[in-house]
């Protein structure tokens, strides 16, 4: 024996049919005039790339990791990052700078920036050069950084 669909099933089918009709009707009317529908711009997905062989990448990686560690209050990780990425001479220079200025020598500040951007400014004479732009609310600070191309260690941080 044939069973008729329930009211709920019939109502659902009717709603689905109406939605499809509206969707196809809208598309047809939008393109009927010959103009193509306007494309909706989509933002590119964020991406980060680099190479362990590139001194510039090492600068960018250091600033990203170091700021994250300091922001999270992980002093031990921040010290390990300094030890790995910075030359021994720069580590000694930063210790002297920090004692004189009572601030973090890598960040050139007493607090942690909310954003960072590291930009390559070229290479020459065995060094790669970069500018780290640190954003503190509405203010920014630029720090000039050099890394040795042979060792890939950061050898200079200046403001």
pLDDT tens, 11-61?
555 444 544 454 444 444 455 555 666 777 788 888 788 888 899 999 999
pLDDT tens, 66-123?
999 999 999 999 999 999 999 999 999 999 999 999 999 999 999 999 999 999 999 9
pLDDT average, residue stretch 119-129: 97
pTM over cut 0.85: no
pLDDT at site 5 = 52
* Dihedral (CA of 84, 88, 90, 93) sign: positive
Could you give the CA distance from residue 146 to residue 70 in angstroms, rounded to a whole number? 21
| Cβ–Cβ under 8 Å, residues 117 and 140 | no
**How open is the CA angle 110-111-114, to the nearest 5 degrees?**
150
55-158: which CATH architecture? Roll (3.10)
Describe the strand order of the beta sheet including 127-136 as a list of residue ranges: 115-124, 127-136, 139-148, 154-158
Burial of 60 (0-12, 13-18, 19+ CB in 10 A): buried
The ranges assigned to domains in the chain are 55-158
């Amino acid at each position: 024996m044939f069973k008729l669909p329930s009211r709920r099933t019939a109502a659902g089918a009717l709603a689905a049919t109406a939605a499809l009709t509206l969707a196809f009707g809208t598309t047809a009317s939008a393109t009927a005039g010959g103009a193509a529908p306007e494309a909706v711009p989509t933002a590119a997905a964020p991406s980060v790339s680099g190479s362990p062989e590139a001194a510039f990448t090492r600068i960018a990686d250091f600033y990203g990791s170091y700021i994250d560690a300091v922001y999270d209050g992980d002093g031990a990780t921040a010290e390990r990052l300094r030890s790995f990425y910075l030359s021994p001479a720069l580590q000694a220079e930063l210790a002297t700078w920090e004692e004189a200025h009572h601030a973090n020598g890598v960040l050139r500040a007493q607090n942690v920036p909310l954003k960072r951007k590291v930009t390559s400014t070229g290479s020459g004479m065995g060094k790669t050069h970069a500018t780290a732009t640190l954003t503190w609310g509405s203010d920014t600070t630029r720090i000039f950084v050099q890394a040795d191309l042979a060792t890939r260690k950061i050898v200079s941080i200046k403001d």
